[in-house]
Amino acid sequence: MKQLTFALLATAFIFPLSASSAYGTQVVNEEGHLLYVHVPEVTQGDDSLEREPIFKGYLRDDLALTERTFSVSMPNTKFSRTWKKEFSPRWAGVGIGLNQFTNSSLNINHIDGVSLSTGRSLEFTFNFFERSIPFTRNIGVVTGLGTRWNRYHLSENDFFQKVDGRVVLSPAEYGVVFTSTRLGINSFTVPLLFEWQSKDRKGLFVSAGVVAVANYSSNSKVSYVDASGATQRTTVASDMFVRPFTFDFLVQAGFGNVGLYAKYSPINLFEGNRGPVVKPISFGAMLFF
């Protein structure tokens, strides 16, 4: 039975490598120290079953004396992953939104002495790279890269400036009326969003998650008309003690390639006690690529 055991182990190794639809093992004869093994492959023909040998030979202990036929073919296995192609993330695209400041109680505007002109305080978004990890045809995780430009226009005749290591609001000089006074912040963004979408690429989608934000520049600018009637534009200060790294909560929903979003940062815009205690919030629309 030692030879029989070896034959069965040999055929067990052979079977997973074959692409046949059915297998059989036939021990034809066992005499003395010789064992004749016939391993057929059964395939479906047009009208009948065909049997072709995979292995046929004599075995003696661990030695094959005669090997008449031996053929191996890899299984023609196909993995159905079409849903990976069907899942289309919504991150890469362009967008525009309205900025405001809030506080921990989610009050809007007039926060810590800062009053914004909502209609002029705009957010511009360009998300240029995206990747997704689908779990199903319509649920997955989305990440990517983007850049963002935020402009916070003040509604009063005052401006942001740096005084003694802090950002403060100062009134305009006597007789000067600002035509524009704003705080500008430029950022890079990296999202981590969970997205649900209908099976139709042009259908409904909803996503939510966090967006990591790296603020790489900030400045305060004013514009006014001088006594001669000429428009003057001045950069008051740069590096406005804005936190270099922060994050936002993002929720967006839409249909097809068009979506609406709401974004809120739970962290104060300025570092420590170096500026007004305000938290950015924005609402806008996206056109996805």
Distance of alpha carbon 17 from alpha carbon 147, whole angstroms: 51
Whole-number pLDDT of residue 203: 87
- Calculate the average pLDDT of the chain: 81
For residue 127, is pLDDT > 50? yes
Q: Are strands 245-255 and 231-238 parallel, antiparallel or unpaired?
A: unpaired
Picking from 14-23, 93-102, 190-199, which range would have the lowest pLDDT averaged per residue? Answer: 14-23
Interatomic CA distance for residues 42 and 24, integer angstroms: 8
Q: How many CA atoms lie within 13 A of 5 on its CB side?
A: 3
Going by the DSSP 8-state scheme, the letter that residue 5 receives in this structure is H
DSSP letter (8 states) at residue 172: P
Alpha helices in 129-179 (DSSP H): none
pLDDT digits (tens, 9 = 90+) for 218-250: 999 999 999 888 999 999 999 999 999 999 999
User: Distance (Å, rounded) from C-alpha 92 to C-alpha 145?
Assistant: 8
**CA–CA distance, 31 with 44 (Å, rounded to integer):** 34
pLDDT in tens, 130-163: 999 999 888 999 999 999 999 999 999 999 999 9
With b meaning 16 or more CB within 10 Å and e meaning fewer, what string describes 190-221? ebebebebeeeeeeebebebebebebeebbbb
What is the DSSP secondary structure assignment for residue 228, as one 8-state letter?
A: T
Q: How far is CA 54 from CA 8, 17, 72, 86, 92, in A?
A: 14, 10, 7, 41, 53
For residue 94, how many other CB atoms are within 10 A of its CB? Answer: 15
> 260-285, pLDDT tens digit by residue?
999 999 999 999 989 999 999 999 99
Q: What is the DSSP string of 55-114?
A: EEEEEETTEEEEEEEE-----------HHHHH---S-SEEEEEEEEEE-TT--BSSBTTB
Helix (H) / strand (E) element for 2: namely helix 2-14
Which range has the worst mean pLDDT, 82-96, 168-182, 205-219, 266-280?
A: 82-96
**Nearest one of 91, 83, 84, 82 to 205, comparing CA atoms:** 91
What pLDDT score was predicted for residue 201?
A: 64
Q: Which residue has the tokens 């008051």?
A: 236
pTM beyond 0.85 = no
Ramachandran bin of 268, using left for φ above 0, alpha for ψ from -120 to 50, beta for the remaining angles:
beta
Provide mean pLDDT across the span 202-208.
92
Q: Is 3 within 8 Å of 36 (Cβ atoms)?
A: no
Q: What is the pLDDT of residue 87?
A: 85
**30 touches 8 (CB < 8 A):** no
Contact 255, 198 (CB under 8 A): no
